[in-house]
Amino acid sequence: MNLIQWTALATRMNRVESLKQLSNLPRFKIIKRSSVSEVANLKKFLCNGWTTESLLKKNASSFEGEALNHSLVWAFPQAYYSVYAMTLAYFDVSGFTNNKSHFSIIKKFGDELGHGHYPESISFYASGGIERKRKFKNCQKKTLPSSLHQDNSNPAVVDSLIASLLDSTRKYDLKERLKAQPHKTKKGKPKKKFTDEDYDKASFQEGHTSILSFLYRKRIKSNYHDIDSLLSSQLEADKIFASIISVIDCLHAVHEAYIVKAIGKKEYSSILDGLPSKTSTLQPKKRLLDIEQILS
């Protein structure tokens, strides 16, 4: 299932196509650097995101066999924190700097999707409370031959797999939110079952469930839940790594493009050149070449 989910995401989230779509968005055409954006913070976020991405790629290329399977446990946290840092960098130049908690950033990311500020290839999300009220944007659940059915050549199948992972993520997140809040019966006892109204309230607080929500859930899962399933010798770790790296590459390209557009290529290149000598800059510099194509 891990392989199927990540492959579906990597199939849809293509870097070149995402940048092409981004270039036509009104938000991208008018973005300017916020007056509250600080150079030091921007550098910190970018360096954090790039360094974590570099570690992930190094793990993928340094291990093989059983060692590669075991290193996959750390791939999910690295994927999330790399994207989280780059999202912070984008929000910094945009002026959203008041709250950097994981929840606020994930919710803000979902809001940005809803406002149409991201390419369609990335702008898929789930909303709604209880399962029968669940709605999906830019993806749709369909009945597939089995839960493990996969056909990357069929966009409808890919989107259905993405909708399913969003659905399961939202189900998990809403239950966690409901359990964390004080819900009591009329007799003052803790609720064991939640009403539609409870789910609707939690849904409003949660916002949209997006790719960033999924990455966060995977980060939690690898740290605390079902560790044995991530250490299975049957996992095709090399393929999962490749898909994770591809997904991160796409998200980073979009955020970096926004940042380059906002601060200018000259300052952005200066930040790249000022990275620590041991930090690989190959990937961000390679992405910059593609970003330059949509700036002209």
> How far is residue 43's CA from residue 152's CA, in Å, rounded to a whole number?
37
Quote the number of domains for the chain. Answer: 2
Among 209, 244, 273, the domain-final residue is: 209
pLDDT by residue (tens digit) across 33-84? Answer: 999 999 999 999 999 999 999 999 999 999 888 888 888 888 999 999 999 9
Comparing 18-22, 85-89, 237-241, which segment has the lowest mean pLDDT?
A: 237-241
Is residue 139 in a domain?
yes
- The residue that leads in pLDDT, 92 or 180, is 92
pLDDT for the residue 185? 66
What values do phi and psi take at 137, rounded to 5? -115, 130
Q: How confident is the model at residue 179 (pLDDT cuts 50, 70, 90)?
A: confident
> How far is residue 94's CA from residue 62's CA, in Å, rounded to a whole number?
37
pLDDT by residue (tens digit) across 99-140? Answer: 779 999 999 999 999 999 999 999 999 999 988 889 999 999
Say if residue 107 is in the same domain as residue 129: no
CA distances from 203 to 11, 58, 172, 176 (A): 29, 38, 12, 12
Say if residue 141 is in the same domain as residue 115: no
Say if residue 159 is in the same domain as residue 94: no
Say if residue 21 is in the same domain as residue 71: yes
Length of the chain: 296
Is residue 59 in a domain?
yes
pTM of the predicted model over 0.75: yes
Is residue 217 in a domain?
no
Say if residue 155 is in the same domain as residue 36: no
Instruction: Calculate the average pLDDT of the chain.
Output: 89
pLDDT for the residue 69? 85
**Structure tokens, 22:** 């981004």
Q: How confident is the model at residue 186 (pLDDT cuts 50, 70, 90)?
A: low
pLDDT by residue (tens digit) across 211-248? Answer: 999 999 998 764 445 544 555 556 788 999 999 999 99
Say if residue 86 is in the same domain as residue 64: yes
Looking at this protein, which amino acid is placed at residue 296?
S
Average pLDDT over residues 171-196: 79
Say if residue 103 is in the same domain as residue 75: yes
pLDDT for the residue 224? 47
pLDDT for the residue 107? 95
> How far is residue 5's CA from residue 162's CA, in Å, rounded to a whole number?
7
Is residue 156 in a domain?
yes
Tell me the percentage of the chain whose pLDDT exceeds 70.
91
Say if residue 165 is in the same domain as residue 256: no
pLDDT by residue (tens digit) across 236-289? Answer: 889 999 999 999 999 999 999 999 999 999 999 999 988 776 666 678 999 999
Say if residue 107 is in the same domain as residue 147: no
**Structure tokens, 84:** 């989280």
> How far is residue 157's CA from residue 50's CA, in Å, rounded to a whole number?
32
Tell me the percentage of the chain whose pLDDT exceeds 90.
67
> How far is residue 233's CA from residue 150's CA, in Å, rounded to a whole number?
21
* Containing structural domain, residue 129: 125-209
> How far is residue 286's CA from residue 289's CA, in Å, rounded to a whole number?
5
| Contact (Cβ atoms closer than 8 angstroms) between residue 122 and residue 211 | yes
pLDDT for the residue 280? 64
- The residue that leads in pLDDT, 184 or 119, is 119
Is residue 219 in a domain?
no
